[in-house]
Amino acid sequence: MVNTVEYSIETKGLVKSYPQPRNFFEFFRGTEKKPVTALDHVDLKIKKGEFFGVLGPNGAGKTTLTKILCTLVLPSEGEVRVNGYDVVKNGGGVRTSIGLVSSDERSFYWKISGRENLVFFAVLNNHSWSRAKERAAEVLEIVGLESAADRRFETYSSGMKQKMAFAKGLLNDPQTLFLDEPTRSLDPNAAKEIRHFLSSLSKQGKTIFLTTHNLAEAEQLCKRVAVLHRGRVQGVGSKRDLGRMLTRGERLMLVVSGLEKPGISRLETLSVVDSVGVEGLGGGRVRLTLELAEGSVSTVLSEALKLGLQIHSTRTEEASLEQIFEKLTTEEV
């Protein structure tokens, strides 16, 4: 039984395959085409109030996943619950509890004002006419667009349109907010403002589900991320968790002198060392980059001293999200 209290989003064995369109001749010949698998046994558990990111290259299945969670596409197999509602059996329940913010400017009526757009969508969110007007005013204030509210949507800048998308997504005060690349096509200042706004929303206890290509943004905002590749979840967790998946733990950077070839071999044979990278710096100095098991820095350092190495500097670092993303989306893990 799926826990409806702890998790805002839960998918179990989610599979989505799309039939491939057939051309005129294939249709009349009855030629069958193998369906394309967009999502392949996706299991996710996203806690209430979590800021969760989904990363993946184009065609990874991010949009399909978001659309299934928003009830716009039906899953082929598996169980999917959003805020406790089954997306297949109770799509209406799901939609009362979610908001979607996309970067698509076309999701508004351009010939009417921003306020009129919001009142219309608020009524579709089951608000009465008077409450819809109040709610539209509230969300306009939240996104800071009160002064431009009565201008036609077509006159807004890209940044204002994106703020309107947020305002629309917040109309029903959703428990879970889906964000589909919300800062795409925004200038750096506008994107920064949106990220600041997202942080404040997260602090209000809303669950936020972000799909993005912007790794820096995900790194800054998300507590956990899932990396999707070819419809499969290649990894889920915090940046540190994902980094550990790839390297067992830590990366140690040493600048040493007095290193001979047998010394490198000795370090490579240590059970706590996954790999050793060597880079000559000139003047007899060498930079060693060692991928280590977690908590084994002291072991390696004492071994280095035993080998007679002179250590000039030490530094540990975690793998960046960009490195993790590259690794997870270019090879099977």
Partner 1 sequence: MFNKIYAFIKRDVTIATSYKLSFFLRFFGMFFSILVFYFIDKLFGSTATPYLMDYGGDYFSFVLIGIAFTSFLWAGLKSFSKVIRRGQMMGTLEAMLITPTRISTIILFSSIWSFIATSVTALLYLAIGGLFFGVDLGSANILSTAIVLVLTIIAFSSFGILSASFIMIYKEGDPINWLFSSSSTLLGGVFFPIEVMPDWLQSISKILPITYSLDAMRLAILKGYAPAALTHDILPLIGFSAIVMPLAIVSFYLAVNKAKMNGSLTHY
Residue listed under structure tokens 């942080």: 199
- The terminus-to-terminus CA distance of the chain in angstroms comes to 29
Coil, strand or helix at 170: coil
DSSP state of 238: -
Pairing state of beta strands 176-180 and 207-212? parallel
Least CB distance from residue 74 to partner 1, whole Å?
4
CA dist 88 and 105 (Å) reads 28
CB of 119 to partner 1, least distance (A): 7
> Are 244 and 75 within 8 A, CB to CB?
no
CA quadruple 264, 331, 60, 3: dihedral positive or negative? negative
Q: CB of 65: closest distance to partner 1 in angstroms?
A: 12
Shortest reach from residue 42's CB to partner 1, in Å: 15
CA dihedral 63→7→14→52, nearest 10 degrees, is 30
Q: Which is nearer to partner 1, 101 or 140 (CB)?
A: 101
Separation of alpha carbons 17 and 15, rounded Å: 7
Task: Give 38 or 148: the residue with its C-beta nearer to partner 1.
Answer: 38
- Of 110 and 315, which CB lies nearer to partner 1 in the complex structure? 110
3-state per-residue secondary structure call for 10-37:
EEEEEEEEECCCCCHHHHHHCCCCCCEE
Q: Which is nearer to partner 1, 211 or 247 (CB)?
A: 211
Q: How far is the CB of 120 from partner 1 (least distance, A)?
A: 5
List Cβ neighbours of 313 (8 Å cut-off, separation of 6 or more): 253, 254, 255
Instruction: Calculate the CA 261 to chain-centre distance.
Output: 43
CA dist 53 and 262 (Å) reads: 45
CB of 171 to partner 1, least distance (A): 8
Question: Which residues in this chain contact partner 1 in the complex, by CB under 8 A?
Answer: 16, 18-19, 38, 64, 67, 70-74, 76, 92, 95-96, 98-100, 102, 104, 106-109, 111-112, 116, 119-121, 123-129, 132, 168, 172
- State which residue, 74 or 281, has the beta carbon closest to partner 1: 74
Residue closer to partner 1 by CB (options 113, 296) is 113
Distance in Å, CB of 126 to partner 1, minimum: 6
